[in-house]
């Protein structure tokens, strides 16, 4: 691995390249903080895909793309003297020191849970106590990931179940309420939607209690389904069959083959 001096040299090289691109490249010169936003979101999802696939080479590339965006935003802001990359880095360093008093201060944190609680407590102090504990959860975050973060933040201030069995009882309760809404002669779609949301929220909560990341679990299931369905399509086509004209039983034959493979 490279030493610190080499890393700093490469970082300086990146800053120089960014200066050159911003001055000379028509596309780079045209970009604004607003125009980069959606590209940054796309790069973040690409990094997420690489992490789920456990592809370290791809993770390295995607981290580079996100790093580029951080430098790019900072370069644009520096042109209006709003802030620059050194301000970004310094602000981050100060925050990390401030929010780790068990490392840089005299606070004691014996485990991960205490570290999280200290982090949220300090974050609240920084806002003067004016913001909700949940205010740091981005509004545009995907709903499943948002549910995870909301629950984690609520737990950091002690609002949580004591045991996983209580959470599982809640899951079953919500399933019962959803089923009851659907069993009436004229089901109310809005009520069913609300109850279904409660089921998902409770399941995500249970996943947290048994140390499973529901986003990762669902994405792995998505990939598994895609892989098996693609096999079904390819094999049925080889056998001269069209999916739209096949029965579910015929499709199941290929599906079960895919599961065995």
* 3 state SS for the chain: CCCHHHHHHHHHHHHHHHHHHHHHCHHHHHCCHHHHHHHHHHHHHHHHHHHHCCCHHHHHHHHHHHHHHHHHHHHHHHCCCCCCHHHHHHHHHHHHHHCCHHHHCCCCCCCHHHHHHHHHHHHHHHCCCCCCHHHHCCCCCCHHHHHHHHHHHHHHCCCCCCCHHHHHHHHHHHHHHHHHHHHCCCCCHHHHHHHHHHHHHHHHHHHHHCCCCHHHHHHHHHHHHHHHHHHHHHHHHHCCCCHHHCCHHHHHHHHHHHHHC
- Give the end of a domain, one of 44, 71, 96: 96
Buried-exposed string 2-26: b where 16+ CB fall within 10 A, e elsewhere: eeeeeeeeeeeeebeebeebbeeee
Tokens of 77: 């802001």
pLDDT of residue 156: 83
Q: How many domains does the chain have?
A: 2
CB 71 within 8 A of CB 111: no
pLDDT of residue 42: 94
Q: Count Cα atoms within 13 angstroms, Cβ side, for 143.
A: 4
Residue 102: inside a domain, yes or no? no
pLDDT of residue 189: 94
The dihedral formed by the CA atoms of 136, 140, 142 and 144, expressed in degrees to the nearest 10 = 40
Per the structure, the complete domain to which residue 89 belongs is given by 8-96
Residue 113: inside a domain, yes or no? no
User: CB under 8 Å to 215, separation ≥6 — which residues?
Assistant: 144, 145, 148
pLDDT of residue 129: 67
Q: What angle do CA 239, 244, 248 make, to 5 degrees?
A: 80
In this predicted model, what pLDDT tens digit does every residue of 16-42 receive, in sequence order? 999 999 999 999 999 999 999 999 999
Residue ranges of the chain whose pLDDT lies below 70: 1, 129-130
- Alpha carbon 87 to its chain centroid, in Å, reads 26
pLDDT of residue 120: 83
Residue 168: inside a domain, yes or no? no
Residue 181: inside a domain, yes or no? no
CATH label of the domain that carries residue 49: 1.10.287.1080
Residue 143: inside a domain, yes or no? no
Residue 151: inside a domain, yes or no? no
- Give the end of a domain, one of 55, 72, 96: 96
Tokens of 22: 């911003």
Instruction: Fill in the DSSP letter of residue 105.
Output: S
Residue 32: inside a domain, yes or no? yes
pLDDT of residue 167: 96
Residue 3: inside a domain, yes or no? no
- Give the end of a domain, one of 40, 66, 96: 96
């Amino acid at each position: 691995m490279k030493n610190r001096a080499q890393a700093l040299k490469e970082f300086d090289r990146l800053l120089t390249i960014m200066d050159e691109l911003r001055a000379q490249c028509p596309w780079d010169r045209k970009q604004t903080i607003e125009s980069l936003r959606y590209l940054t979101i796309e790069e973040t999802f690409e990094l997420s895909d690489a992490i789920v696939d456990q592809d370290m080479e791809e993770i390295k590339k995607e981290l580079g793309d996100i790093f580029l965006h951080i430098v790019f935003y900072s370069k644009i802001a520096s042109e209006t003297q709003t802030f620059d990359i050194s301000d970004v880095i310094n602000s981050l360093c100060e925050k990390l020191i401030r929010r780790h008093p068990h490392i840089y201060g005299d606070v004691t944190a014996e485990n991960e849970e205490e570290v999280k609680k200290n982090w949220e407590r300090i974050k609240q102090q920084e806002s003067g106590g004016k913001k909700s504990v949940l205010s740091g959860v981005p509004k545009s975050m995907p709903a499943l990931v948002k549910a995870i973060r909301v629950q984690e933040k609520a737990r950091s201030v002690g609002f949580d179940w004591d045991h996983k069995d209580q959470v599982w009882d809640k899951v079953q309760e919500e399933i019962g309420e959803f089923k009851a809404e659907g069993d009436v002669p004229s089901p109310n779609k809005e009520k069913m939607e609300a109850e279904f949301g409660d089921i998902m929220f409770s399941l995500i909560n249970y996943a947290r209690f048994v140390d499973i990341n529901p986003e990762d679990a669902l994405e792995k299931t998505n990939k598994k389904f895609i892989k098996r369905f693609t096999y079904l399509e390819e094999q049925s086509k080889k056998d001269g069959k069209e999916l739209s004209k096949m029965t579910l039983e015929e499709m199941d034959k290929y599906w079960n083959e895919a599961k065995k493979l």
